[in-house]
Structure 1
Amino acid sequence: MINLAKRVIRQTLNDKRSVMMILVAPLLILTLVYLLLGDSSYVPTIGMDKDTMPAPAVTALEEQELKVVEISNDDTDDAKNYLKDHQEVDAVINLSKSSGMDITLYEPSKKGTIAVSEIQKAMSTLNPSAKVTMNYVYGKQDESTFDSLGYVFLALFSFFLVFIISGMALVRERSGGTLERLLMTPIKRGEVILGYTLGYSVFAIVQAILIVFYSIYILGLNSVGNIGWILLVMVLLAITAVSFGAMISVFASSELQVVQMIPFTIIPQVFFSGLIPLDLIPYHLGNLCYIMPIYYGAAAIKGVMVYGDGFLQIWGYLLGLIIYALLLYLLNTLALKKFRKL
């Protein structure tokens, strides 16, 4: 029994990927969770017309951890359009004797929650029983978590599942000798990668269509924009996932090693997919989103589903996915050199 245990320990220590997964991956994930979900130093910005606000209320708000921007009375009356044009402002407040305090936010988010919390702290010192009305430019106060974050799950599920299937299948092709025999023929390396990509992309496209229609028409996920743009984004994201899985499979010699790479390749992308506003991430780490394909897919889907965007608004995200897929195609083609025997 002791000898068996020693053998298992030696085998595990000799497998660098297993050691990384056991020791490094938990620390990496916990660090990301801490940075994203820990105490935030973010200072929200609120807009208000100081001339129409009571002086004690203005003083109380300025004493909180808030950046106060003075706007005109017309802007406070038309707060939704103001926030559309000034997304750097988190909330617009308007105080009246008849309706109490109206707080208008761009959308339900952590940034908005921080802003409302600071406003409520200020108002509690003046009138704890004051009536507060919440309004949103996009979304609503009582919507479920699935409604507000459904676009993230569409992107994550599509990318993750296709990545696993394509990555494991390509490792199996290589370990079984199929890939080497194929490369011994006159077929070009680029054609091999393109063939695998097209083959798995067929199933990825079917999956994307199924997920979108099921989420919207069966689960009731709300979508403001055209469903066709959502399908296009999902298809591009799925094709990118196939290429991403092919690239990861180059560094894996078995299906288990593909799974071992998930904490380093997929899980970090989850935190930059839109679950938390990127500008809340400290040390400017939110900029890492631009090297992660899930970000482009999730941002485009959110634009269509939440804001009702069309091609003119999401073309940058579509271009990002296309460029990512082309780069992965080139990298995968170059990586096949190590497997070509003739």
Structure 2
Amino acid sequence: MLSIWKRIIYQIRNDKRSLGLLLFAPLLVLTLLYFILGDSDYVPKIAVYDMDQTYIIELEQNAEVTIVDEKPDVRNYLEEAGADAFLWKDTSGLHITLLEKNSKSAAAIQAIQKTNQVFNKGQTVPDISYIYETNENNQLDSLSYVFLGVLSFFFVFILSGMSFVRERFGQTLERMLMTPISRFAVIGGYTLGYGVLSAIQSILIILFSVYVLKLQVEGSILLCILVMILMSFSAVSIGALASIFSNNELQMVQFIPIVLIPQIFYSGLIPLDTIPFGLGKLCYLIPVYYGCTSLEKIMIQGKGFLEILPWVAGSILYIAALFAINVLALKKYRRL
């Protein structure tokens, strides 16, 4: 028993990657959780129309206030001005309009409620409405774009990464690299092959979600499929990159928490503006951000292709960059 114990200890001690994962990866994840899910210093942005000046002054203690002289089209104003809420009053009382339910809209409502309490209006319930409302009886609808994007990325990443490692472990890749075939052709062939399989999976996920689970989709289902396909190619490319630096399947598994946990944080589950220390800007390095943002605009907001074009372009550029990195990384096995 003692000899086995010593062998395991020596083996782990010599495997720096496993030792780092065991000791430091949990600390890294906990630190990231602290920064992202801890107390946020986010100040909600509220636009007001036809409100008393004393009320506005008090509201400014809890929020960033913008005074609007003429009542605009509320939907366009909230989208273009970046406000979290639009507040106005009429003879029937206070009205609050928000884009959708998230932590930013909750912060805006809380700021208004605090102001109402100062003016002894705490007993008055304001009329709250959302531009993009989902089926309240089905909580999955409001976060469907998050689950679709993250789950698809997770399974594709695991499938492609493990498959690449198995190809190398069986020395199939090494034998292939002994031929005149270029690294570009190798990476292109693997990416296209697993990408097509992943694209089929993406189509099945969308069709099953819409026609079997009856998830709400305000926009085009074809656009959803396009976005899911692009996200699947991103997952294949990241799986290939991780596998190139993994000598066996265990080492590939070690990449799972490092790669997948950031995808969850930046999938739209948490509004990026509420993440402190400017960490929300890291979203541009996360492939799921582009896909989930596009899915949200299609499924929840009913946007078309032109509205999601920046995020689609971002996904394509990300795939191209990962492809180039994979080709360069393959120099580890052959310089051709």
Normalised by the shorter chain, which TM-score bucket? over 0.9
- Give CA-to-partner distance per residue, 1:92-150, whole Å, 9 cap, x none: 1122342x221111211111101101111221231222022111121259364421111
* TM-superposed deviation, 1:59: 4.5
* TM-superposed deviation, 1:256: 1.1
Q: Which letter does structure 1 place at the counterpart of 2:48?
A: M
Distance in 2 between residues matched to 1:329 and 1:59, nearest whole Å: 54
Distance in 1 between residues matched to 2:154 and 2:38, nearest whole Å: 26
Q: Do residues 68 (structure 1) and 61 (structure 2) align? A: no
Matched with 1:303 is 297
Distance in 2 between residues matched to 1:2 and 1:290, nearest whole Å: 50
- The 3 A distance-change label for structure 1 pair 144 and 59 is farther
Matched with 1:102 is 95
Distance in 2 between residues matched to 1:176 and 1:213, nearest whole Å: 36
- The 3 A distance-change label for structure 1 pair 112 and 266 is same
* TM-superposed deviation, 1:9: 1.9
Matched with 2:106 is 113
Matched with 2:40 is 40
SS in 2 for 1:68: strand
- Give CA-to-partner distance per residue, 1:303-331, whole Å, 9 cap, x none: 21122222211122122221221222222
Distance in 2 between residues matched to 1:30 and 1:191, nearest whole Å: 40
Q: Which letter does structure 2 place at the counterpart of 1:42?
A: Y
* TM-superposed deviation, 1:200: 1.0
SS in 2 for 1:318: helix
Instruction: Check conservation: 1:108, 1:141, Cα contact below 8 A.
Output: no
Q: Do residues 223 (structure 1) and 217 (structure 2) align? A: yes
Instruction: Check conservation: 2:134, 2:141, Cα contact below 8 A.
Output: no
Aligned length: 335
* TM-superposed deviation, 1:267: 1.1
Distance in 2 between residues matched to 1:116 and 1:168, nearest whole Å: 46
Distance in 1 between residues matched to 2:42 and 2:287, nearest whole Å: 26
Matched with 2:5 is 5
Q: Which letter does structure 1 place at the counterpart of 2:77?
A: Y
Matched with 1:21 is 21
- The 3 A distance-change label for structure 1 pair 36 and 338 is closer
Calculate the aligned-residue CA RMSD, in Å: 1.9
Distance in 2 between residues matched to 1:325 and 1:190, nearest whole Å: 14
Distance in 1 between residues matched to 2:51 and 2:310, nearest whole Å: 41
Matched with 1:81 is 76
Give unmatched runs, 5+ long, in structure 1: none
- The 3 A distance-change label for structure 1 pair 66 and 141 is farther
Distance in 2 between residues matched to 1:111 and 1:196, nearest whole Å: 42
Matched with 1:194 is 188
- The 3 A distance-change label for structure 1 pair 5 and 95 is same
- Give CA-to-partner distance per residue, 1:27-70, whole Å, 9 cap, x none: 11112211121111111111112xx43465445423x3212211
Give unmatched runs, 5+ long, in structure 2: none
Distance in 1 between residues matched to 2:59 and 2:325, nearest whole Å: 54
Q: Which letter does structure 1 place at the counterpart of 2:12?
A: T
Identity %: 47
- The 3 A distance-change label for structure 1 pair 341 and 132 is closer
Instruction: Check conservation: 2:195, 2:236, Cα contact below 8 A.
Output: yes
Instruction: Check conservation: 1:60, 1:122, Cα contact below 8 A.
Output: yes
SS in 1 for 2:62: coil
Q: Do residues 208 (structure 1) and 202 (structure 2) align? A: yes
Distance in 1 between residues matched to 2:52 and 2:329, nearest whole Å: 68
Q: Which letter does structure 2 place at the counterpart of 1:86?
A: A
Matched with 1:318 is 312
Instruction: Check conservation: 1:21, 1:263, Cα contact below 8 A.
Output: no
Distance in 1 between residues matched to 2:77 and 2:334, nearest whole Å: 60
Distance in 1 between residues matched to 2:112 and 2:164, nearest whole Å: 55
Matched with 2:30 is 30
TM-score after normalising by structure 2:
0.93
- The 3 A distance-change label for structure 1 pair 117 and 144 is farther
- The 3 A distance-change label for structure 1 pair 184 and 111 is same
SS in 2 for 1:223: coil
Q: Do residues 182 (structure 1) and 176 (structure 2) align? A: yes
Instruction: Check conservation: 1:61, 1:122, Cα contact below 8 A.
Output: yes
Instruction: Check conservation: 1:183, 1:341, Cα contact below 8 A.
Output: no
- Give CA-to-partner distance per residue, 1:180-218, whole Å, 9 cap, x none: 111112222221211111211221011000111111222
SS in 2 for 1:332: helix
SS in 2 for 1:298: helix
Distance in 1 between residues matched to 2:7 and 2:220, nearest whole Å: 58
Distance in 1 between residues matched to 2:139 and 2:32, nearest whole Å: 21
